[in-house]
Structure 1
Amino acid sequence: MNKLIKLTKQIYSSDIIGYVMIFAAGTLWGTIGLFVKLLSGVGANSTLTAFMRLFMGFLILVPVLFFMGGIKMFEIDKSGLIQCLLLGVLSQALFNYCYNVSIGVVGVATASILLYAAPVFVCIMSKFIFQEQIGMLKIFSLVLNIIGCFLMVTGGNLSYLKLSVIGIIFGLASAFLYSLVTIIGKIASGSVHPFTIVFYSFLFGWLTLGIFTSPWESIAGVSSFKFWIYSIGYGLIPTVGSYLFYMKGLSKNLETSRVPVIASVETVVATLIGVVLFSEKLNFINVLGIIFLLSSIAMMNMKFKEKGKEAEIPK
């Protein structure tokens, strides 16, 4: 029994649990499309949907933080507050704006594929900020991940793709802003409780969206029992739940460049939800994309013993 307890503590304190948390966060993020469709079905537009996600997530976190540690959970220093401000404004509010513009110009498929450039941005920034190594296996995993996402989104049908300079610029901008969640979150998690980071990033995010999009009239126009139930679910599952797992995982001893590839499991979950709940078709190319994406996640975590030390394959 003592050996089991000791082993459990070792696993929890190691990077294994961190990567499991990132995987769990990606799984919960995979339900975003479900809630977007549900809210769209009751009349909410994309701007209102983005606002409600952060606003409801913020409200849900208030009692959660009080239950966890009381008023102390809301304490944050100036440096941490600035980092949360950057997360909220850049990686929450501005990201949603750029992504929605990209979707409006080039469509969902192209915008989604451009968003999957985020792991590349994270890998490059991790090299310079955290001095992480970029081995051949890591590069191959990134390429495999992008190909997998491309195949899953398009199903091999290139007619879904639309090209536009403005759409591509906003799509890549959304990918860069999305990648900052991992970079800034990793930096902030060293001095601030992960749950406190999430709380303040949501606060700054919904305030920014509220100031620039004025969603209040839209809420009045679509307010109904279903709207609020869906909004609560949206704020709870792919927002509070996913970000708590993600930030807690980042606080572990993880290689930052691996994180977004593991979190990309959200694409697989989103695809399967579409098949099961909305009777969307899944062809051979889609399945191949799933295999590629899951393979890239597995390869990102491959290690081997070399001269008594654990190393990535290959350097």
Structure 2
Amino acid sequence: MEKKKGYIFICIAGLLWSTLGLFGNVLMGYNLTPEQVAFTRLFLGFLVLTIYSIVKNPSALKISKKGIIYSIMIGIVCQGLFNLCYFKAINSVGVCISAVLLYTSPLFLTVFSKVFYKENINIQKIVSLGFCFLGAVLAVTGGKLDVDKLNGLGLILGISAAITYALMPIISKNILKECSSITILIYGFLFGSIFMLPLAKPLEMLKYSLNPKILVWMLVLGIVPAALAYIFYVEGVAKGVELSIAGVIASVELISSVLIGWTVLGENFSIVKLIGLGFMVVSALIAVKASKQEEPLLSEDIEQNTLHEAL
């Protein structure tokens, strides 16, 4: 029964994450810059996660000097730069394409894991990555490789978001032996927001926050696809859901993001793009099967993967 609740919680987390592009798009429609939207998500997310930890587990706020150093790196690279690139991509190519490009991160994670930690790349991983790459190409192009119609800057930004996303477990792998994933998330959000602060033009943001409508959307962005999604995910995993299964369940985020872009924001969609999404889902299922055939994860590896999924 508890595990079933865990499945539901993780599915809810994925659905909440899928609203990130929608709320960011709304705020940019009010003339907030991608930098300001990124700062809003990080800073308000930090505040809500901190309050949650104070109520739920105050010890999560304790962190070592080494943890602070790693949190600064994670905050700048995997939170600040990730959010900046992702919201800029949304502003450039839309929610659908940005979400698809973000889900190419397993390609980069596999390469980084091989380079930095000498992890093996078996045939199932290669097949999984192949499906992921093919699915991304179909979902982004609709099967029409007309380079002139593709937004080069938007594609670069989307891929950059995927790279910074993939760097999260690479950077955090060692520190998670000392700090919990929720601790790294809290301080990563804090240092990410500090990094984004000079780019966000605080005085201009103060002016926007005086508008009740904009303020509501800013609060929703910081609560729903930020803190609340992470809380549901961590609680879901805590109920005994295997991380490999959790990753597949959370991938509902990709499908939901694309549907939101198509139905709510009126972005283009097609059967070929739907097939591309299908390939990406198949890629995730193959990855799950491959992970089940490998040795059980060590406790620190579980924390590391939990943090990656919770990004």
If the length of structure 2 is used for normalisation, what is the TM-score? 0.76
Q: Which structure has the larger Rg over C-alpha atoms?
A: 1
1:49 is aligned to 2:37: yes
Given the alignment, which residue of 31, 44, 51 partners 2:19? 31
Give the residue type in structure 2 aligned to 1:153.
V
| Other-structure match for 2:184 | 197
Within 5 Å, which residues of 2 pair with 1:106-185? 107-108=93-94, 115-159=102-146, 160-163=149-152, 172-185=159-172
Aligned partners of 1:29, 1:297: CA distance in 2, in Å?
17
Residues 272 and 177 from structure 1, CA distance in 2 versus in 1: closer, same or farther, beyond 3 angstroms?
same
The C-alpha deviation readout for 1:218-277, integer Å capped at 9, x for no partner, is 33146321212111111112111334456675999857xx99887554321111122343
User: Would you say the 8 A contact 1:145–1:261 is kept in 2?
Assistant: no
- For 2:216 and 2:41, the matched residues in 1 are separated by 12
Distance 1:26 1:126, change over 3 A: farther
Greater shift after overlay, 201-210 or 174-183?
174-183
Distance 1:153 1:243, change over 3 A: farther
**1:134 partner SS:** coil
Between the two proteins, the alignment pairs up a number of residues equal to 288
Q: How much identity, in percent, do the aligned residues show?
A: 32
Corresponding position: 1:277 with 2:277: no
Residue of 264, 270, 273 corresponding to 1:286: 273
Alignment gaps of 5+ in structure 1:
305-309
Q: Residue in 1 aligned with 2:226?
A: 239
CA displacement 1:164-202 (0-9 Å, x = unmatched): 6xx776655443222112323444333212222111111
Alpha-carbon spacing, 1:21–1:176, altered in 2? closer, same or farther (3 Å): farther
CA deviation digits over 1:48-67, x for unaligned, max 9?
Answer: 11111111111212221110
Q: Which amino acid letter does the alignment assign opposite residue 32 of structure 2?
A: A
The equivalent position to 1:92 in structure 2, one of 79, 100, 104, is 79
Partner Cα distance (2:106, 2:120) in 1: 15
Report the CA distance shift for 1:242/1:149 in structure 2 as closer, same or farther (over 3 A).
farther
Match of 1:175, SS?
helix
Kindly tell me: are residues 297 and 288 of structure 1, through their superposed partners in 2, closer, same or farther at Cα, counting changes over 3 Å?
same
Cα contact 1:30–1:238 (8 A) shared by 2: yes
Aligned mates of 1:63, 1:216 — CA distance in 2? 25
Which residue of 2 is the match for residue 66 of structure 1? 54
Partner of 2:204: 217
Structure 1 residues 146 and 216: alpha-carbon distance in aligned structure 2, compared to 1, 3 A threshold: farther
Q: Distance in 2 between matches of 1:260 and 1:142?
A: 15
Which whole-Å deviations, capped at 9, do the CAs of 1:127-164 have from their partners, x for residues lacking one? Answer: 35555432111111112122223323333344441346
Moved more, 29-38 or 148-157: 148-157
Flag the 1:29–1:45 CA change in 2: closer, same or farther, 3 A.
same
Specify the code of the residue in structure 2 equivalent to 1:223: L
Answer yes or no: is the 8 Å Cα contact 1:142–1:261 preserved in 2. Answer: no
- Closer, same or farther: CA 20–150 of 1 in aligned 2, 3 Å: farther
